[in-house]
Each structure stands twice: as C-alpha cells, then as structure tokens.
Amino acid sequence: MGYLFTSESVSEGHPDKIADQISDALLDEFLRRDPDSKVACETLVTTGLVVMSGEVKTKAYVDVQEVARRVIRRIGYTKHELRFDAESCGVISTIHEQSPDINRGVERGDELNQGAGDQGMMFGYACNETDDYMPLALVLSHVLLMELAKIRREGKEMTYLRPDSKSQVTIEYDDNNQPVRVHTIVVSTQHDEFDSDDERMLKKIKEDVRNILIPRAKARFPERVQKLFTDDYILHVNPTGKFVIGGPHGDTGLTGRKIIVDTYGGKGAHGGGAFSGKDSSKVDRSAAYAARHIAKNMVAAGIADEVLIQVAYAIGVAEPVGLYVNTYGTSHVNLSDGEIAQKISMIFDMRPGAIVKRLGLKNPIFEETAAYGHFGRDYYKREVKFILNGNCEAEKIVKKEVEFFTWEKLDYVDILKKEFNL
C-alpha cells in the first residue's frame, strides 16, 4: 500500500514572510556597502507596525526605515484598508552592535580559517522527483503561490486578490516511493470584500483557483508532472470561508518562523536554525546552503536517487565536528554511506570561510531567497549595485555582475562522477 505526503508554502505577503524579506533586505543593504558586515537581524510585523532588532557589526550606514518600507511596498501592502501599508506603518529599529564575545571567535587573520558563528547542525537534501532535485509536494506548493502573485500583479484576472496566501499539496506515492498523483490541493488567499453573499464569493474564488490558477501552475512543469494532475484530485479553497482580514493585521509575523517552507517541506531533516537576516558567517545559513549544494550535485551525478547531508559545527571552530551522509538505500555506488561521507569530506571544504568564498556569500543576494524557498531556485547572474564608502557623504556607486543561488549550481557533477567512478 502506498502513502500520502504533504508540504505547504506561504506567499510573500504572509506576515512571517514579510518579516523574512525585511530582514534579508537589511542584510543586503549592509553587504552592499560593507561586504564584511556581520548581521543578525530579526523583524516583527503587526497591525500598523514594524519592529527591527538584532546585532550588526559594520562600517556602513543604512536607512533601515526606508528599506522596510520599500519591501512592504514591493510585496503589495499599499492600501490603508489593509491596516498595514508601506507609507503609514510605524517602523522602529532597536538594532545594536554584535557581541564582541561572538565576534572574536569568528573573525581571524586568515579568512579561510574563520570560526563558525555558532554551534549546531545543518542539513542539505536532494532527490530526483523533480528537474530541480526537490520534493514534488513542496515545489508544487511554491509554484501555486508564485503564479497567484503574478496574477495579482497583472491585475487582469482574480482582481480581488490581496497579498496574503497559503498553499498545501498532498502527493500520493506507491510502494516504491514514486509519485502516483496529486491527491489534495489547498489554497487560502486573502481577498477584497465582495458583497453580503459569502457563499457566492467563495464559489467564485474556488472556480478561479481551479480554472485559472491551477492550469497556469501546471503548465510550468514537464509532461511527467502534469500527468499527476488527474481529474479526481481534492480541492479546498479558503476552507474557513472569508479571508478579508490578513497580513500583519490578521496575524503577527516574525523572522525565521517558516523554516520548513524555506527548506524541503518536511522531507529530509532540519537542524532548527533559520536563514533570513543572517550573514554567511552564521553557519545556520552558509552550511545549509553548502549541504544542499553537495546533495544536489550528488544526485545529479548519479551517486544516489535521494541524499541527506548533515554537517555540524562548534562555535569559533573552523573545521566541522562531523559530516554525515544518508542515501536512504538508493545509492548506485558500491560504498557504504559512511565511506561516501569520507570521500565527500575530502572533495568539499566545509570550513565556513571556504563555503563563503566558494558560493560568493558576501554579495547582496539574499532578499530574493526570502520567499518561495531558498532551494530549487534557478541559478543566474545579474548586475547589482554596490556603494563604496557607504558610511559617509562621499559614497561611490559601482555596478558588478553577481551570481545568485550559487548553491544550486551543478558545477561538481563531473568531479563527483570521476571520484566515484561513474
């Protein structure tokens, strides 16, 4: 007998995701002016208010209030009736200096030997369910909301949409762990007031989700995934009825509260550390990215169909205290998982400084990671603005091409094939 597996996603307008995006936008602005900035920013959003806190060590000056308003404006909170809008919400900052006790263990003369910014364990995961080596239920959940946001911004269909939304997808698997069909889709979206007929409103939204949103999301996938959308899937749309009150007015949002949405949708494992608002000296972020990079390249190289990587650190120590590999019995090489782990530790330098250099994590690339998942995204290059002498009036603006989502590159496939004789 097969089984069901479910993952969820939340939109860029969800309160927790607003907080994540503000925190990562702040990080980017500090890095834009000082690539050596040490940042740990937390954000709270609620009715009419944004509160930013955390620790920063930097040479740069950033107008944090304007950064927060820009993010809120981009997401779409621009109407006063939402009780949270970019122009009128209060913005409070209590950001202060990073603890010197932490900093002394992180910064070293030799950058490659800088210590880990904290203890802990981080996980990376990959599987061959989708073309981007991610779990199918999570990817479908993300794409539904990405398309919903596009529809909202286009303003041609479903014109009642507001920014806050959630999705959830359940996949039916067979006994061989292969996806058989899409079993259930749940979409909850914030919307404008209709009229007094709540039943008519709900029927209209459900019809639009079925006839507009789902076909658009489905079209983004190859034929083998589209075939999983059979006619008998279960669809729940706004199951509680009205969803007019939403966003930070409906629910307070906090940075780091959507760590499963950000990673693998419940597949693999999670060490507990959030990503957004943290610079790459924090291994919660950089080592999780590096572990995903390893796992994805391993699956793409044909070492296994499914791979989980764990790496662990002690604060202030550069070398990991451990590296673990689990191929879930799907390995295609004549080695134990422990032997695979030994070879992987020799191929990939997992010191935090080496990870930062390998993946280019001192660039302002993080705001785009803060909604719709940090993994399974497309690697690309783009010209971005840097501000030199960003702490004084004599600042100079330069533009440089920067790589985004470097941890999604398949640049170690040939190396791994050679090392594992594939």
Q: Which residues are annotated as a binding site?
A: 14, 16, 42, 55, 98, 164-166, 242-243, 251, 257-258, 274, 278, 282
CA distance 352 to 361: 10
CA distance 421 to 63: 53
Name residues whose C-beta falls within 8 Å of residue 35's C-beta, 6 or more positions apart in sequence.
362, 363
- How far does Cα 114 stand from its chain's mean position? 25
Question: What radius of gyration do the chain's Cα atoms show?
Answer: 22
8 CB neighbour count, 10 Å cutoff: 20
Structure tokens at 241: 């009825």
Q: Are 32 and 266 in contact (CB under 8 A)?
A: no
Q: Binding site for L-methionine: what residues are annotated?
A: 55, 98, 251, 282
| Known binding positions for ATP | 14, 164-166, 242-243, 251, 257-258, 274, 278
Alpha-carbon dihedral sign for residues 258, 261, 264, 267:
positive
Nearest alpha-carbon partner for 54 in 247, 254, 252: 254
* Side chain identity at residue 364, one-letter code: P
Residue positions in the annotated binding site for Mg(2+)?
A: 16
How far, in Å, are 26, 85, 172, 256, 289 from residue 15 at the CA level? 17, 12, 30, 11, 24
**Cα angle value 39/43/47 (rounded, 5°):** 165
